[in-house]
Structure 1
Amino acid sequence: MIRVLVVDDDFMVARIHVGFVEKVDGFAVVGVAHSGAETVEAVERLRPDLLLLDLYLPDRFGLDLLAEVRTGPHPCDAIVITAAKESESVRAAVRLGVADYLLKPFGFPDLEERLRRYAGQRSLLARAEVTGQEDVDRVFLRVGGAAPPLPKGLSPETARLVEDALGAASAPVSATEIAETVGMSRVSARRYLEHFAQMGRADVRLRYGSTGRPERQYRWVG
């Protein structure tokens, strides 16, 4: 469970954000802060994993607050949620390594997408094993938000179809099931699925039957 501290000076807006977060599986709101001082105290006491951070607080600018938190004993991550459209604020947020930057006003799907992307990045970093440059590149591509390069013979359009089908599945699925959903051959579907697995965007498990070889099943995690 990813522990979230909601930081916003507007009590009503903060309440809405709490409701949004609690609708996303894998996330739990552990507290709410309405100022920089409250945030520093809450981070020390609650030890959240992630801040939903407004930039316009009554006593501090949000990015200055984040820089302070990052030097403390519990340097948590942050998704900036703000009305600040100034390019300098965006550049400063990038320099501080924020996980995402979401402009107000927004709806639940906008925040849900960013929370799920953050969860995928966090999961990838947690299980990453670095044995060479290829592993390093894979982590930086995924965490940096760039699309992993497709192997020769795979197309971005078809990759998106396979990704959508895999992401929509409520349980692990086989290459045969994805092929039927998308309308392609099983061999081609498996090539895309194996690519996603190599990039850390899909988990693979084996399903054993009574006879024959075990079937590879895939679950979207990225």
Structure 2
Amino acid sequence: MREVLVVDDDFMVADIHRRFVDRIDGFHTVDVAHTGGAALEAAHTLRPDLILLDVYLPDMTGLQVLQTLRAEGDPVGVIMITAARELDTVGGALDGGAADYLIKPFEFEQLRTKLASFAARADALGADHGIDQSFVDTLFGRSSAPGDPPPMPKGLGAETGQLVLAAVRGAGEVSAAECADLVGISRVSARRYLEYFLSTGALGLRLQYGAGRPERRYHAS
């Protein structure tokens, strides 16, 4: 269970975010803070796995909170959740080592996707296996370049696709059902993503024979 610290100066918004987090499998809110000072104190004492951090706080900015944490050597995951749309704010979040950035207001599914992505990256980095360039590209998000696969078919999302690839690489080999459990999507959706990546060459396939139809098991190419 990953522990989350929610930070927002608006009490009502903070409570909404808390309830969102607690609806997501594998995540649990350990505390809610409404100021930068309270956020830093909670981070020091509770040592959460992830902080949902607002930019606009009454005593300091969320970016200052992030900078303080990094200056102290705290590697806690941080997702900036804010109404701020200024490019320099987004740049500051990236420079400070934020894992992601979500502009509010947002829907529950948007947050669920961000947290699933965070969990997939953490699991992949914690897996006991070697890495290659394609694995690194999956974690960081590969930019488009000549020779890249064509855009995903309608109904398939790039972000969920990255989660699927990270899940396969983290596990080594998966069936559609196992991938669905890892990513938190339906088995039918998982099969569509896996078959798409198989068609592009990003994944390979092994047929596991037993009683009945052979099981299709996918692995990194």
TM norm structure 1 = 0.71
Q: C-alpha separation between the residues in 2 aligned to 1:119 and 1:191?
A: 24
Alignment counterpart, residue 138 of structure 1, candidates 124, 134, 138: 134
In structure 2, relative to structure 1, the CA distance for the partners of 1:72 and 1:139 (3 Å cut) is: farther
Q: C-alpha separation between the residues in 1 aligned to 2:127 and 2:145?
A: 21
TM norm structure 2 = 0.71
Q: Which 5+ residue runs of structure 2 have no aligned equivalent?
A: 165-174, 180-186
Kindly indicate whether the alpha-carbon contact (under 8 Å) linking 1:54 and 1:62 is maintained by their aligned counterparts in 2: yes
**Most deviating of 115-124 and 47-56:** 115-124
Query: What secondary structure, in the 3-state scheme, does the structure 1 residue paired with 2:111 have?
Result: helix
Q: C-alpha separation between the residues in 2 aligned to 1:24 and 1:54?
A: 20
Q: C-alpha separation between the residues in 1 aligned to 2:7 and 2:102?
A: 14
Larger Rg: 1
Kindly indicate whether the alpha-carbon contact (under 8 Å) linking 1:4 and 1:27 is maintained by their aligned counterparts in 2: yes
Alignment counterpart, residue 171 of structure 1, candidates 167, 173, 177: 177
Supply the RMSD in Å over aligned alpha carbons: 3.9
The aligned counterpart of 1:26 is 26
| Count of aligned pairs | 196
Query: What secondary structure, in the 3-state scheme, does the structure 2 residue paired with 1:171 have?
Result: helix
- Give the Å deviation of 1:36: 1.2
The aligned counterpart of 2:96 is 96
Identity %: 40
The aligned counterpart of 1:109 is 109
- Give the Å deviation of 1:157: 3.6
For residues 99-154 of structure 1, the C-alpha deviation after alignment (integer angstroms, 9 at most, x for no partner) is 111111111112111111111111221126446xxx1x2343222222698989x6
Q: C-alpha separation between the residues in 2 aligned to 1:2 and 1:193?
A: 34
Kindly indicate whether the alpha-carbon contact (under 8 Å) linking 2:7 and 2:52 is maintained by their aligned counterparts in 1: yes
Q: C-alpha separation between the residues in 2 aligned to 1:150 and 1:189?
A: 19
- Give the Å deviation of 1:65: 0.8
The aligned counterpart of 2:167 is none
Q: Which 5+ residue runs of structure 1 have no aligned equivalent?
A: 183-187, 198-203
